[in-house]
Amino acid sequence: MTRGHRLLLENARQVVLVCARGERFLAGDALRSLAVLEGASLVVGTDGFIKAIGPADEIKRQFSEETFEERIDCSGKCILPGLVDAHTHPVWAGERVHEFAMKLAGATYMDIHQAGGGINFTVERTRQASEAELFSSFQQRLQCMMRAGTTLVECKSGYGLNLETELKMLRVIERARRELDLKELGRSGEIHVDNIDVFCEKGVFDLDSTRRILQSGKDIGLQINFHGDELHPMKAAELGAELGAQAVSHLEEVSDEGIAAMATARCSAVLLPTTAYMLRLKQPRARKMLEEGVIVALGSDFNPNAYCFSMPMVMHLACVNMRMSMPEALAAATINAAYALGKSHTHGSLEVGKQGDVIIINEARWEHLIYQFGGHHELIEYVIAKGKVIYKK
């Protein structure tokens, strides 16, 4: 009996699986090289999940009697997992381009914050904006992320700082989850929240307040995934490990003890190379974390203060400024970023049974996606979510 499938990607020069044995994350020696197939094809079923990956001749023989809604010839090209952005703040109103000039003139993040700018400026504008205005700008930002290869993105609220505005932002995110291609196709109806986050920092939330808020979120079933040790050493990493956090982000000022605690607790470190670069902060100690066995993930930290949509550029900065290898950076932007979001059982690698989220680049080696700084617009030919083409160059 002839069966129908959604998509056949055939004859790729390389298929970068990232994982091949069902790993939920990669750390330590597992990062020395990634699982890559040469001369391979991939099949996505009508349910949007991967049905087969293997040598092109073998797939051709196995599926010779079957039909596909779409076939793409990937000769000379590379197939990679859709990229996962593990940390963004994409719902807000009121650009802060004027603050970029202030920073270039020497003002620090906290100087601007204490003068009523920074987060305070964005909170005021976000409170004033209508739900429709917020959705329109959010939609445009998600499209930019998608064209840069992102197929799963973590979206924070937080610029409301009151219940009414926070709920408005969450409704905007939920509407995008229902209506747009770039999302995890999940439940609709009620607002769906996965994580609880706090900015643990001097002059913002201290360690005790952070502990109380995170524990309250954990008690109602939320994953802990929070900002810590960014501008000052706050012992946030140690707290995250103690509370069983899924992830702690930033960590520019993390202690050696915090790194060791995170490795033991399998709490992932979401590193944000754009933030350290744009704010001229000390780079997070990625090499120390990797050597200690921490699960290292990457995020763009897209927000009015770090305006970057592109995970390929984030990976490049991670390699150059944080001294990560290209396999380490790609794992951090796929399987480990998915792990940081509690999604690595369905996302972050190309394996049978996982969601068919894929990017195709017009080069014979996958490393070009990182090597060509700012070149992703020319490189990325297709972005595919659940086996459906959502972007074609």
pLDDT in tens, 27-44: 999 998 899 999 999 999
Q: What is the CATH number of the domain that holds 118?
A: 3.20.20.140
Q: What is the mean pLDDT of residues 48-73?
A: 97
71 plus 106 within the same structural domain: no
252 plus 224 within the same structural domain: yes
361 plus 306 within the same structural domain: no
44 plus 126 within the same structural domain: no
Range of lowest pLDDT (256-260, 303-307, 367-371): 303-307
Instruction: With a cut of 80, say whether residue 1 has pLDDT above it.
Output: no
pLDDT in tens, 278-329: 988 899 999 999 999 999 999 999 999 999 999 999 999 999 999 999 999 9
Instruction: With a cut of 90, say whether residue 223 has pLDDT above it.
Output: yes
33 plus 89 within the same structural domain: no
Are 227 and 199 contacting, i.e. CB atoms less than 8 angstroms apart? yes
Q: What is the pLDDT of residue 180?
A: 80
Predicted structure pTM score: 0.96
172 plus 267 within the same structural domain: yes
139 plus 284 within the same structural domain: yes
Domain coverage including residue 45 = 4-81+349-392
Q: What is the pLDDT of residue 68?
A: 97
104 plus 26 within the same structural domain: no
- The count of domains in the chain is 2
